[in-house]
Amino acid sequence: MGRYLGRKILIYGLTFFLAVTIDWLIPRFMPGDPVTNMLARVSVNSDAAAVMYDYYSHIFGLDVPVWQQYINFWVSLFHGDLGKSAYLFPTPVVQVLLRAVPYDLFLLLPSILLSWYAGNHFGAFAARSKWLDSTASPISYILTATPYMWLGILLAWFFGIVLDAFPVAGAYSFSLRPDWSWVFILDVLHHWFLPFVSLFLVGFGGWAIGMRNMIIYELEADYSRYLEALGAPRKLIRKYAFRNGLLPQITGLALQLGVVVAGALVTEVVFSYPGIGYLLLAGIQNQDYFLIQGCFLFIITGVLLANFAIDLIYVVVDPRTRLGLMGETA
Amino acid sequence: MRKFVLTALSVFVVASLILSGCATPTPQTIIQTVEVPKEVKVVETKEVVVEKEVQVTPVPPKSYPRNETLYVSGAAWGPVSTWNPYQPGSLANATGIIGNVYELLFVYDPLSDKMTPWLAEEGTWSDPNTYEVTLRSGLTWSDGQPLTAADVKFTFELGQKYAAMWFANMWRYLTGVEAVDDTHVVFTFNDPLYQEFENNLYNIPIVPEHLWKDRAEEEITVGANEKPVGSGAYMYETHAEDRNVWVRNENWWGIDMFGKPAPKYIVDIRTSSNNVALGMVVKGELDMSNNFLPGVAELANKDYVQTYYAQAPYMLSANTAVLFLNTTKAPMNDAAFRRALAFAIDTPSIVNVAYAQLVAPASPTGLLPTLGKYVDEDQVARLGFTFDTAKAKQLLAAAGYRDTDGDGFVEAPDGSKIELRVTCPTGWTDWMAAIDIISTSAQAAGINIKDETPDYGAWNTELQGGTFDMTLNNWANMSNTPWTLYNLLFNHPIKEQMQSGNFGRYENQEMFDLVDALARVPMSDEAGMIEATSKIQELMLTEMPMIPLWYNGLWSQFSTAAWTGWPSEEASSPTLPTTWSGYWQLGGLNTLINLKPVTP
């Protein structure tokens, strides 16, 4: 077990190093630089513009050779400093991210977990009945193939504009100040609902189909047939099938949770909902090296942690992994 | 273990279900719950009416009453991140920080072409090298301290101390600023650029010395300046990811002088897309949207929204969209080719099709309608251009551009093929439609131009580095002087990177001298300005180093659901209906003073 963990940690460490290096490199391959974009529109004569350009390059640490920028990047990373955002100058990137992440978690965690839970159970349930299968599956397929954006716009239009039952922009009313009153909390939930539903529905369709297919596959597997031949009750067989079918779904869930902070870009744009997705888009459009790096760092860390978590969880939920480990250590 | 996971999950699910159950109240229930504290508050205010004036720090309200709050959008393109009035690049500037919080010596109203003394009571040139400003008496900062000549001196001297300040350059010709007494400031010059200086008079925000003098250089040049203390009609209230809120300064010195701005709160909303702004303004949740909303003409005709003009072009003209030509490349280095191209471009279609009449075609001089008196109509009649494909073909042929290989497009006089690109940033849909029309109409005249839309960053790099063929740009705002436009068009000297103008690197010392000569004409010498501008126009129209095409609009659509009294062409003294950074000092505050709540 110790050797298994050690090897995993080494691999993850190496992956982290490479991924972060690529994360550092990619924005710098893009044409343009943050200072040029920042100072666009400053109407001064060209001598003064050159002075300002140098000044801001220095502020961002872009006036030293590239290799040195790379080393500086790692040094400050371990100090917890991701630099200053150029798009949201002069806010430190860490602060920008910390402000945005709660919105992502609040929106995505419930929608991913709930759609996973509900989707799996519904899928398993649908696989049981022919009638349900032939009606629910196509709906699920349509749902999962729906672009988030389209569903989002549709929801915003119908519930926001036509029925006027839900707001279409912001995380809470523009007329409120955040505080811990019921008015405010209800208002936050009211704004949260439509983006949540759009994410939930699309996710729900995907999980339901996955589970339905898994159940059908598992019910055809040898162990199911054997159980059936032994005369085991159908309920028991289904229970086993569900457990087995759940394994790949757990992997999928973990991966989704890993990208949780970046997962809702289009939804955030459609509903004008604050979060990292929108920042990432803006960062890329503005050549904001530091903001892009910061957003991707969150995503990289998230994916790696999620993968690591699956490795650990599998040891618990999948006896085959446990047996393999024992064989290895023996 | 499995059971534990499932239990944990179901606990979460139940919790989330409860939350989502709460999330579906009908709007009525919410409105009801809002109303309760409101009623309570009415009682409160009745009771403390006497104490109201004593109260210095009001308790922030939990919600903003609709009839006291103005909701605006279109100025902020990202979460507000800086309240520093000297931060160049206005991406994440808080709108109104210049003008409503930090004030200026003068404001300029482009619609009446008048400089109005603001912090200043008057300003005069006592001799060609001395400018004297008298401040109003009784000016105060929002923390109660007096605003004096020392603050003005301190502000201008920031440019002398720190080269990174955008107005540092002024100290080439400014030799000193003296505070004679509390209300008198004297500027002394050596060979002053009058046009630039008087433009700066309404663009350099005055900051409080007592709060800024101990700040380090970086704090002044690039600090975020959170919780700003200014002298203006509004003060910082709060901000979040998608909004910045200003609250009226009830003790503003200008209330007796100019009137009280009607909205107690201004909520500036960052919308993630124009569609969101459109939805909100139609629903009456947004009072004024300064976003570009294609098709808004249709909505204005059906009275969903109001615009400055009831008919086309609906919007005021804010700046000139200019087609910059890279004069370091053939054939754009040939004036005859550039002139022919000017005739080939179908500007009427850009106005009518790409913009659906939301804009107006530009004068060939590029000068905005507000600067119309500087347009030399004789020069325009003699040298101006209009869309005329036949004339373009004829000019091309006369200059030796002929189709020698029969592919339908002309070749250069030396026989080399001509293949050019016209660009604008991707996603700027109006400009994308415009360059499509530019390339199509140029092709019809036999010039092979293709339109391309690189990323904003790539476009900017090409623009400032001078590697483009031809591209659109509009970086000169409304101004009190034509010099602002020429400073963009003929920015000099030519450097490797051209950040603030003359992107096509048009190098002509004669032109640079003419622009510098204009900069040296005193603002009071209108005849001198007209004469200097006329010379520039003649050379510009002959040489055609860039082609002014249309006026981009001061995009603005407003709702009368909560506020009336919006600026329109019918108003007796209209003001600018905008929240854009850089426009508050053009009299934007008067717009707020003129507003009236629908339900008082």
- Asked if the model's pLDDT at residue B52 lies above 60, the reply is no
Which of B251, B263, B290, B256 shows the shortest CA–CA distance to B274? B290
Q: What are B354's two structure tokens?
A: 């790409």
In the numeric block, the tokens 């003005």 are attached to B152
Tens-digit pLDDT profile for residues B571-587: 888 899 999 988 999 98
Measured between its terminal Cα atoms, the distance across chain A in Å is 11
A139 or B554, higher pLDDT: B554
pLDDT number for residue A125 = 85
pLDDT number for residue A314 = 83
In terms of Cβ atoms closer than 10 Å to its own Cβ (0-12, 13-18, 19+), residue B530 is middle
User: What is the least distance, in Å, from the CA of A7 to any CA of chain B?
Assistant: 25
- What kind and span of H or E run contains B510? helix B509-519
Q: Within an 8 Å CB–CB cutoff, is residue B31 touching chain A?
A: no
Q: Within an 8 Å CB–CB cutoff, is residue B497 touching chain A?
A: yes
Cβ contacts (< 8 Å) between A95 and chain B: which residues?
A: none
Cross-chain Cβ contact B241/A100 below 8 Å: yes
Secondary structure class of B10 (helix, strand, coil): helix
Cross-chain Cβ contact B30/A183 below 8 Å: yes
A321 or A167, higher pLDDT: A167
Q: At what angle do helices A93-128 and A130-145 cross, to 10 degrees?
A: 160
Cross-chain Cβ contact B456/A88 below 8 Å: no
Ranking B4-18, B101-115, B410-424, B550-564 by mean pLDDT, the lowest is B4-18
- Measured from the Cβ of residue A228, the count of other Cβ atoms closer than 10 Å reads 14
Secondary structure class of B196 (helix, strand, coil): helix
Tens-digit pLDDT profile for residues A209-256: 889 888 888 888 898 899 989 988 988 988 888 888 888 898 888 888
Tens-digit pLDDT profile for residues B287-339: 999 999 888 988 999 988 999 999 989 999 999 999 999 999 999 999 999 99
- Rounded CA-CA distance B296/B358 in Å is 8
Cβ contacts (< 8 Å) between B492 and chain A: which residues?
A: 45-46
Q: At what angle do helices A2-29 and A289-317 cross, to 10 degrees?
A: 160
Q: Within an 8 Å CB–CB cutoff, is residue B493 touching chain A?
A: yes
Tens-digit pLDDT profile for residues B488-546: 999 989 988 888 899 999 999 999 999 999 999 999 999 999 999 999 999 999 999 99
Cross-chain Cβ contact B487/A46 below 8 Å: no
User: What is the least distance, in Å, from the CA of A44 to any CA of chain B?
Assistant: 6
Q: Within an 8 Å CB–CB cutoff, is residue B494 touching chain A?
A: yes
For chain B positions 430-469, those within 8 Å of chain A (CB to CB) are 454-458, 460-462, 464
Q: CA dihedral defined by B413, B418, B423, B429, rounded to 10 degrees? A: 110
Find the largest Cα–Cα distance for chain B.
90
Confidence of residue B10 (pLDDT cuts 50, 70, 90): very low
- The backbone region for B446, taken as left when phi is positive above 0, alpha when psi lies in -120 to 50, beta otherwise, is left
Distance, C-alpha B428 to centroid of its chain: 17
- The backbone region for B314, taken as left when phi is positive above 0, alpha when psi lies in -120 to 50, beta otherwise, is left
Cβ contacts (< 8 Å) between B12 and chain A: which residues?
A: 113
- Asked if the model's pLDDT at residue A138 lies above 70, the reply is yes
A60 to chain B: nearest residue by CA? B222
pLDDT above 90 covers a percentage of chain B that reads 74
- Asked if the model's pLDDT at residue B449 lies above 90, the reply is yes
Which residues does residue B564 pair with via DSSP β-bridges, in sequence order? Answer: B596
Q: Is the distance from CB of B171 to CB of A51 less than 8 angstroms?
A: no
B85 or A46, higher pLDDT: B85
Cβ contacts (< 8 Å) between B454 and chain A: which residues?
A: 31
- Asked if the model's pLDDT at residue A48 lies above 70, the reply is yes
Q: Within an 8 Å CB–CB cutoff, is residue B142 touching chain A?
A: no
Q: Is the distance from CB of B151 to CB of B207 less than 8 angstroms?
A: yes
Q: Within an 8 Å CB–CB cutoff, is residue B284 touching chain A?
A: no
Provide the ipTM.
0.81
B23 or A33, higher pLDDT: A33
Which of B534, B550, B189 shows the shortest CA–CA distance to B382? B534
Cross-chain Cβ contact B499/A50 below 8 Å: yes
Per-chain mean pLDDT for chain B: 88
* B344 phi and psi angles, rounded to 5 deg: -80, -20
Cβ contacts (< 8 Å) between A43 and chain B: which residues?
A: 475-476, 484, 487-488, 500-501
Question: Which strands, in side-by-side order, build the sheet including B174-181?
Answer: B120-127, B130-135, B184-189, B174-181
- Asked if the model's pLDDT at residue B32 lies above 60, the reply is no
Which of B38, B592, B560 shows the shortest CA–CA distance to B268? B592
pLDDT number for residue B30 = 33
- Rounded CA-CA distance A116/A40 in Å is 46
Tens-digit pLDDT profile for residues B404-417: 988 999 999 999 99
pLDDT number for residue B572 = 80
pLDDT number for residue B25 = 33
Per-chain mean pLDDT for chain A: 86
- Asked if the model's pLDDT at residue B53 lies above 50, the reply is no
Nearest CB among B27, B169, B498 relative to A48 is that of B169
Chain A with chain B: Cβ pairs closer than 8 A: 260
Q: What is the DSSP string of B346-412?
A: -HHHIIIIISTTSSEEPPTT---GGGGGG--HHHHHHH-----HHHHHHHHHHTT-B-SSSSSS-B-
pLDDT number for residue A261 = 67
Measured between its terminal Cα atoms, the distance across chain B in Å is 63
Exposure string (b/e) for B184-215, b if CB count within 10 Å is 16 or more? ebbbebeebbbbbbbbbbbbbbbbbbbbbeee
B458 to chain A: nearest residue by CA? A31
In terms of Cβ atoms closer than 10 Å to its own Cβ (0-12, 13-18, 19+), residue A277 is buried
In the numeric block, the tokens 């949207």 are attached to B289
Nearest-5° angle of CA B372, CA B373, CA B377?
80
Q: What are B126's two structure tokens?
A: 């006592």
Cross-chain Cβ contact A87/B283 below 8 Å: no
- Rounded CA-CA distance A271/B589 in Å is 31
For chain B positions 75-134, those within 8 Å of chain A (CB to CB) are 77-79, 81-82, 87-92
Tens-digit pLDDT profile for residues A93-113: 999 888 888 888 899 889 999
Q: Is the distance from CB of A249 to CB of A214 less than 8 angstroms?
A: yes
In terms of Cβ atoms closer than 10 Å to its own Cβ (0-12, 13-18, 19+), residue B414 is exposed
- Rounded CA-CA distance A125/B102 in Å is 65
Tens-digit pLDDT profile for residues A188-209: 999 999 999 988 988 898 899 8
**What is this structure's pTM?**
0.85
User: What is the least distance, in Å, from the CA of A152 to any CA of chain B?
Assistant: 12
Nearest-5° angle of CA A149, CA A152, CA A156?
140
Q: What is the mean pLDDT of residues A63-69?
A: 92
pLDDT number for residue B16 = 40
pLDDT number for residue B59 = 60
Which of B319, B384, B328, B318 shows the shortest CA–CA distance to B503? B328
Q: What is the mean pLDDT of residues B212-223?
A: 94
Q: How many helices (H) and strands (E) would you count in chain A? A: 14, 0
Cβ contacts (< 8 Å) between B427 and chain A: which residues?
A: 285
Ranking A117-121, B98-102, B497-501 by mean pLDDT, the lowest is B497-501
- Rounded CA-CA distance B483/B203 in Å is 15
Find the largest Cα–Cα distance for chain A.
89
Nearest CB among A156, A183, A186 relative to B22 is that of A186
Which of A307, A306, A327, A324 shows the shortest CA–CA distance to A315? A324
Q: Is the distance from CB of B88 to CB of B203 less than 8 angstroms?
A: no
- Asked if the model's pLDDT at residue B466 lies above 60, the reply is yes
Q: Within an 8 Å CB–CB cutoff, is residue B218 touching chain A?
A: yes
Q: Within an 8 Å CB–CB cutoff, is residue B211 touching chain A?
A: no
Cross-chain Cβ contact A36/B461 below 8 Å: yes
Cross-chain Cβ contact B500/A46 below 8 Å: yes
Secondary structure class of A92 (helix, strand, coil): strand
Nearest CB among A117, A171, A286 relative to B13 is that of A117
Cross-chain Cβ contact A32/B88 below 8 Å: no
In the numeric block, the tokens 């309608």 are attached to B369
Handedness of CA B241, B247, B252, B258 (dihedral sign): positive
In residues, how long is chain A? 330
Exposure string (b/e) for A187-225, b if CB count within 10 Å is 16 or more? bbbbbbbbbbbbbbbbbbbbbbbbbbebbbebbeeeebe
Confidence of residue A72 (pLDDT cuts 50, 70, 90): very high
Confidence of residue B55 (pLDDT cuts 50, 70, 90): very low
DSSP tag of B177: E
pLDDT number for residue A173 = 86
Confidence of residue A163 (pLDDT cuts 50, 70, 90): confident
- Rounded CA-CA distance B46/B62 in Å is 18
- Rounded CA-CA distance B73/B291 in Å is 7
pLDDT number for residue B218 = 92
Confidence of residue B43 (pLDDT cuts 50, 70, 90): very low
Q: What is the mean pLDDT of residues A159-187?
A: 85
